[in-house]
Structure 1
């Protein structure tokens, strides 16, 4: 039982996955919660008057044992789940929510925090300590400390309900994804599909003791199918299945859950004195307010929409000319985009894949990090893993000091949710003079190796790997005192800058020559392909931009107003998509019911931040390009002002310290080819 609550007797204090059994979690959570409560009691009952050290700092270091248990458990719940873990999650979520409320609604604790906060002008604090003090006070105020007892109880009830609803939403999406398979028994159904995709589908069918080929809604299966399959009816079938996730008449339907979540979020915001959930969220973001976000999204939409409409017309004409398609539907989009791209650039993902063997791309990411930040990555086999697929690395600096432990988990499997993400098993912080180094993980769902081929990535998967690796660097290079200001603990519209900027290196010849080598011959990727990759980077960028903006506007629609009048998810969605719609609507599909980013992840009122961070990353990368993409001085400024600083000060201050100016929207429009 105590395995999770005692100090780990392992290499670098890494998680002892193989020694943990599922039954250990419930007791470990109970013990971790009790321990955290005891740490809070000690702060409250301290007979000394409240000081920064005995109250604010003590609070920042409380709950570390519980955080560690939570990190391990919830990371497995995402990457390696099963029925037992899902049951435990349902049991534990309300307990953790209640504990969070016990802390932020503790009147005696808040009065100590408030006492220190009120002396802030007379205290001698570092910038990081000032930020921690501000954050601590705001965390209480934003979580109900200023409410009366009746309101506090109401807040607790809302939070307990939300914690369970969000979990249920994610489980329903996963259940609908897992329930669907497109089983093809005749070879003609495979026309147009790449050999590797066919092989993977055959091996999946074989693993299920079936003949033929099985395609699923997992991205490495779904995306190639809708991109390459010549059979329009089959593309339609799988595309409709993807659009029905959480929107079918079955036990996984998320419509009521969506309406309940937005309603509860709105009630919570109002209770805390904010007009809407978006007002509440954005008070702690670079963007600051819903009106600023909407102005930002609509400004970009006005600039991108003419290009998007022109591209859509071109794509429609192309599909008509090629195959006599009268109306371009959603299941035609990826297919004809790929065909048009091939015609324009003679560039085909299948042509590129042999140059992007997963191991080489990963080494390439390591090499880029070495050139920029002097990091070395050494594969190790003495660190425990939660699945045989996981790879483990020690990350060291030029003086051979340990910087981080890095876990990489690349392939889809039954217990893993879709998508790609970075996470941590242990944060970085400094306590008692020891700089505790972080344990960082990236989890992806890439095309797995087959019997005859290694894992060969599409170019999109290459940029995904670099993206998540950028988040990982943000975690690994963290160098702050307090765990709750460390690494990716920054404003959400700033957190995507380190990840998105890394994608830029994938388009640069100087970086590609480090890793884009043919998996069989070792031949370097031909430079004309590199040029085509760069040229095609802005292909149909207007449509892609409008699509992203539509998701941001949908998110703000759900969260930037009183949702109580909304009764039908689908009707509401149609209204929100009116300004961005290009393809005809599909009546039995919905986006919201599987929009995990905003209903299960942390992106509610925050989906705009992808575009917001793209402005930051385009502007920041222009600075690199002006000085050389491996310029050590610029890299060092990025590391010192952005990657290592976490949330220790306002992100705009950090950005200006790096760049010398505020970011310019035009940098993004230039890169996207939307302005010259």
Structure 2
């Protein structure tokens, strides 16, 4: 087993007890605050306060040295808080959650202090004012300084003291409210269980039944532990005991295959009313999980923060750091794309409605859509997700994914095997993990140079937040003065169906796409050659461009050559047969119109609630969502649908007034991939060009510059419309045919 490089600086998860993390986070904040306390004020020329008049000026060289030293000090906080945040997402329990929330105000106060710290801010000004010194800095450092000044301005560094205090209080409350919002969704999701009767199981697939049976075992263990059922009552239950939950693999299995329409409606109602006024569940403290008041308060605080900084609303503030220039530009982009997608979406809906009648459904409803869509796939394309699932065993998909990126970028991925059955003879070869399902890999360049490492945590389980994501835990970084360097390390997380019945995890093609998407993010983080942490990897990349590498990577899971590398029947080993491959590719744009309108609905809702002045309360939030649906959607949504109450991306994540970024970046990724379509999708020269101009440079240059360096021109929407299956002739009459600025 190869020795692990110390530059990976891997975490010992056996030594991450809440008490240990609390000590480490607190000590890191205290040390950083001590540095700030000792950072003396300096003269910067004009607009100098009385306190600063007595201070001596310093050189740009010394100013930069202070900044670099402060960055180094903050590594300890990045690490300790990053571990705690990660564990709160993947292994949440009462102790971890309590500590996470207890430390949030302290962390928020520290972040606000940094953003408003005049002596630190002045050091950046000293560098900027010394144009000759600034010009000789490496581009990554110049970009980091530029972004830091922007961050200072958005943190209220120029505000009077009273308003700075108000800003700090807002930041602290927002961090707490967002955490509670996320908790409520997790608790609401995991509180729901629905034991099923035999007549409700019709239509469910073998893998779906296995998931429901596994959920049944967890249900029995939980009920026994809580004393809700006695051992005798547990023994009396049927074997296997099938239980439906709202965890995504189970929910999708029921909504896609259950013949029982009433069951589908019941589960749909439970899912879309999570954490709303219709949800009667409570948390461990007996408190309501309703997110309604939290949502209104979050919007109110965001607007206050934006207006303190001189913006008309939060949407303006959010867009100030993105590629898009204005709310109007984004709204035009979204509505124009909706115009392009609507004719196709109406055809999609008509197709579902026609097929629904064959199953005695005259009034197609949202809880029917996935079920009927699967029937259409089976009849029109002879394609069933369940039929192709055995062709995508996770180990084969992973091996194929690694083979694809090797052909594209010349990189090799090697797993650091650390199974429980192996004898680990050296601490330098063991990899500590937070769960037995987790695997660790190292990434090597063509010359066998170690580039970084990543963890896969891919299966759904209790205590784990839903969805899929890449967490850029540790950035590439070098500090010459301390002779310190670290390689990039990231966590890639999914919620796929786990291994069942002695077989490896078998993925649907949708799950394959998700894996490729997150790995695209991972490559962006791992392949960076930038050593200034603030702009290394995904750091410093505009939010509406950060999805470019991830959506770009999905294309190889849709290509016949790519699919050949990732498919192999779990029992026979045969590749995906040509008829199923043809069906899969033919179905690529199936329902693309309706799916596009759904994404636009979410994005426009997000944009409008953050651009509305005066700020909206919960009633206004729901009214805005209804209005957007009236404009965009072509299928009615039940009045009780409270999708917004679970919209974690914007209320508990980083996508507030930025959810449009998925479609914006999809335009960029489609246009970037079109270069491979023109010159060969495995063309190593083009692959290397993408690596060097997009992946390697991270946030060290503006995203627009990076894209144009790769494509040789500004971005065009043509490829997006073509990839989505929309008719190109419609594009010529809309502003979307223009270039993206």
TM bracket, shorter-chain basis: over 0.9
Q: CA deviation at 1:70?
A: 1.2
User: Could you tell me which residue of structure 1 aligns to residue 406 of structure 2?
Assistant: 370
2-side partners of 1:468 and 1:254: how far apart? Answer: 28
1-side partners of 2:275 and 2:508: how far apart? Answer: 28
User: Could you tell me which residue of structure 1 aligns to residue 173 of structure 2?
Assistant: 161
Match status 1:225 vs 2:261? no
Change (3 A) 1:563 1:197: farther
User: Could you tell me which residue of structure 2 aligns to residue 529 of structure 1?
Assistant: 580
- What is the TM-score normalised by the length of structure 1? 0.96
2-side partners of 1:326 and 1:203: how far apart? Answer: 35
User: Could you tell me which residue of structure 1 aligns to residue 635 of structure 2?
Assistant: 583
User: Could you tell me which residue of structure 2 aligns to residue 483 of structure 1?
Assistant: 533
Aligned to 1:649, what secondary structure does the other structure show?
Answer: coil
2-side partners of 1:332 and 1:649: how far apart? Answer: 46
Which of 110, 114, 117 does residue 125 from structure 2 map onto? 114
Q: CA deviation at 1:42?
A: 4.7
Which of 7, 13, 16 does residue 9 from structure 2 map onto? 13
User: Could you tell me which residue of structure 1 aligns to residue 701 of structure 2?
Assistant: 649
User: Could you tell me which residue of structure 2 aligns to residue 96 of structure 1?
Assistant: 107
Aligned to 1:208, what secondary structure does the other structure show?
Answer: helix
Aligned to 2:631, what secondary structure does the other structure show?
Answer: coil
Which of 690, 713, 723 does residue 671 from structure 1 map onto? 723
Change (3 A) 1:11 1:190: farther
Q: CA deviation at 1:132?
A: 1.6
RMSD: 1.8
Q: CA deviation at 1:351?
A: 1.3
Which of 382, 387, 396 does residue 435 from structure 2 map onto? 387
Match status 1:428 vs 2:476? yes
Q: Kindly indicate whether the alpha-carbon contact (under 8 Å) linking 1:426 and 1:439 is maintained by their aligned counterparts in 2.
A: yes
Q: Kindly indicate whether the alpha-carbon contact (under 8 Å) linking 1:553 and 1:576 is maintained by their aligned counterparts in 2.
A: yes
Which of 128, 132, 153 does residue 140 from structure 2 map onto? 128
Q: Kindly indicate whether the alpha-carbon contact (under 8 Å) linking 1:43 and 1:59 is maintained by their aligned counterparts in 2.
A: no
How many residues are aligned here? 667
Question: Which piece of structure 1 moves more, 585-594 or 163-172?
Answer: 585-594
Instruction: List per-residue Cα deviations over 1:417-441 (Å, max 9, x = no partner).
Output: 0000011331112221665211111
Question: Which piece of structure 1 moves more, 210-219 or 565-574?
Answer: 565-574
User: Could you tell me which residue of structure 2 aligns to residue 170 of structure 1?
Assistant: 182
Q: Kindly indicate whether the alpha-carbon contact (under 8 Å) linking 2:7 and 2:486 is maintained by their aligned counterparts in 1.
A: no
Q: Kindly indicate whether the alpha-carbon contact (under 8 Å) linking 1:598 and 1:607 is maintained by their aligned counterparts in 2.
A: yes
1-side partners of 2:629 and 2:166: how far apart? Answer: 34
Instruction: List per-residue Cα deviations over 1:8-39 (Å, max 9, x = no partner).
Output: 99783200101221211222111010111133
2-side partners of 1:137 and 1:16: how far apart? Answer: 35
Q: CA deviation at 1:583?
A: 2.5
Q: How does 1:242-253 map to 2 (within 5 A)?
A: 242-247=271-276, 248=278, 250=280, 251-253=288-290
User: Could you tell me which residue of structure 1 aligns to residue 446 of structure 2?
Assistant: 398
User: Could you tell me which residue of structure 2 aligns to residue 599 of structure 1?
Assistant: 651
1-side partners of 2:173 and 2:132: how far apart? Answer: 39
Gaps (5+ residues) in structure 1? 1-7
Q: CA deviation at 1:190?
A: 1.1
Change (3 A) 1:311 1:668: same
Q: How does 1:207-606 map to 2 (within 5 A)?
A: 207-209=218-220, 211=238, 212-247=241-276, 248=278, 250=280, 251-320=288-357, 322-380=358-416, 381=418, 382-432=430-480, 435-489=485-539, 490-568=541-619, 569-606=621-658
1-side partners of 2:618 and 2:385: how far apart? Answer: 43
User: Could you tell me which residue of structure 2 aligns to residue 82 of structure 1?
Assistant: 93
Aligned to 1:407, what secondary structure does the other structure show?
Answer: strand
Q: CA deviation at 1:249?
A: 5.1
Gaps (5+ residues) in structure 2? 43-55, 221-236, 281-287, 419-429, 729-741
Q: CA deviation at 1:107?
A: 2.1
1-side partners of 2:593 and 2:347: how far apart? Answer: 9
Instruction: List per-residue Cα deviations over 1:41-80 (Å, max 9, x = no partner).
Output: 4544797705252244344444111001111110111111
User: Could you tell me which residue of structure 2 aligns to residue 49 of structure 1?
Assistant: 58
2-side partners of 1:9 and 1:437: how far apart? Answer: 9
Q: CA deviation at 1:108?
A: 2.3
Q: Kindly indicate whether the alpha-carbon contact (under 8 Å) linking 2:8 and 2:452 is maintained by their aligned counterparts in 1.
A: no
User: Could you tell me which residue of structure 2 aligns to residue 3 of structure 1?
Assistant: none
Q: CA deviation at 1:110?
A: 2.0
Q: Kindly indicate whether the alpha-carbon contact (under 8 Å) linking 2:32 and 2:70 is maintained by their aligned counterparts in 1.
A: no
User: Could you tell me which residue of structure 1 aligns to residue 207 of structure 2?
Assistant: 196
2-side partners of 1:295 and 1:58: how far apart? Answer: 44
User: Could you tell me which residue of structure 1 aligns to residue 426 of structure 2?
Assistant: none
- What is the TM-score normalised by the length of structure 2? 0.87
Change (3 A) 1:473 1:351: same
Aligned to 2:478, what secondary structure does the other structure show?
Answer: strand
2-side partners of 1:571 and 1:121: how far apart? Answer: 55
Instruction: List per-residue Cα deviations over 1:92-146 (Å, max 9, x = no partner).
Output: 1111110011111112222332232233466322322221221121111111001
Aligned to 1:423, what secondary structure does the other structure show?
Answer: strand
Change (3 A) 1:72 1:557: same
2-side partners of 1:208 and 1:299: how far apart? Answer: 47
Aligned to 2:58, what secondary structure does the other structure show?
Answer: coil
Q: Kindly indicate whether the alpha-carbon contact (under 8 Å) linking 2:438 and 2:455 is maintained by their aligned counterparts in 1.
A: yes
User: Could you tell me which residue of structure 1 aligns to residue 689 of structure 2?
Assistant: 637
Change (3 A) 1:126 1:519: same
Instruction: List per-residue Cα deviations over 1:136-191 (Å, max 9, x = no partner).
Output: 211111110010011101101110110000000000000100111121132x2111
Aligned to 2:495, what secondary structure does the other structure show?
Answer: coil
Aligned to 1:663, what secondary structure does the other structure show?
Answer: coil
2-side partners of 1:107 and 1:403: how far apart? Answer: 37
1-side partners of 2:57 and 2:208: how far apart? Answer: 67
Question: Which piece of structure 1 moves more, 625-634 or 567-576?
Answer: 567-576
User: Could you tell me which residue of structure 2 aligns to residue 32 of structure 1?
Assistant: 28
The structure having more radius of gyration, on CA atoms, is: 2
Q: CA deviation at 1:444?
A: 0.3
User: Could you tell me which residue of structure 1 aligns to residue 734 of structure 2?
Assistant: none
Q: CA deviation at 1:630?
A: 1.0
Q: Kindly indicate whether the alpha-carbon contact (under 8 Å) linking 1:55 and 1:113 is maintained by their aligned counterparts in 2.
A: no
Q: Kindly indicate whether the alpha-carbon contact (under 8 Å) linking 2:327 and 2:611 is maintained by their aligned counterparts in 1.
A: yes
Change (3 A) 1:59 1:279: farther
